[in-house]
Amino acid sequence: MTGLSNPEISRRAESPTVLVVSPCREELALLAATFRENNWTVREACTYREALTILCHDRMPVVICRRSLPDGNWKDLLGQIAVLPDAPRLIVISPEPDHHLWTEVLSMGGYDVWVAPFDADEAIRAASRAWQSWQNESSRAYQHWRPAKVLAKGAA
């Protein structure tokens, strides 16, 4: 591991956050260690239900989810994420290359598909792009929303 650090993320006051959802303990440990070594805040879940509990309480910009979970799958998680006000970017992990899965994930609103095993540096780069995409959308939404709030105050 090179300890790759994204300069854009390093300049930000808050560290990027990722939720890793996988029933595979080795995969969970590897991803958590990779992200923590690169100054990310990491939350971990082994099941769909654990992931939902975390998503109900904490704002998550990026969610990395194994294709299949013991109690659901990536589609179930995406359905829940889609209704959040600032929906996280969903990255799906597949144990084998699957063009159909990649097409389906992207067409349904997911962000990316990774094939395990994956390169740690590339995982950080790809997750950083997802986080930056989420930040940009969140900033645009806030900028768009704020003037309406100010006008509402002025009119009162």
Spans of all domains in the chain = 11-155
Nearest to 111 by CA among 97, 131, 96, 95: 131
Tokens of residue 128, six digits = 């950083």
**pTM of the model as a whole:** 0.80
Please state the CATH superfamily assignment of the domain spanning residues 11-155 in this structure.
Answer: Response regulator (3.40.50.2300)
Instruction: Render pLDDT for 123-148 as a digit per residue (tens, 0 to 9).
Output: 999 999 999 999 998 765 544 444 43
Please tell me the predicted confidence (pLDDT) of residue 31.
94
Q: Determine the Cα–Cα distance for residues 127 and 113; give it in Å rounded to an integer.
A: 11
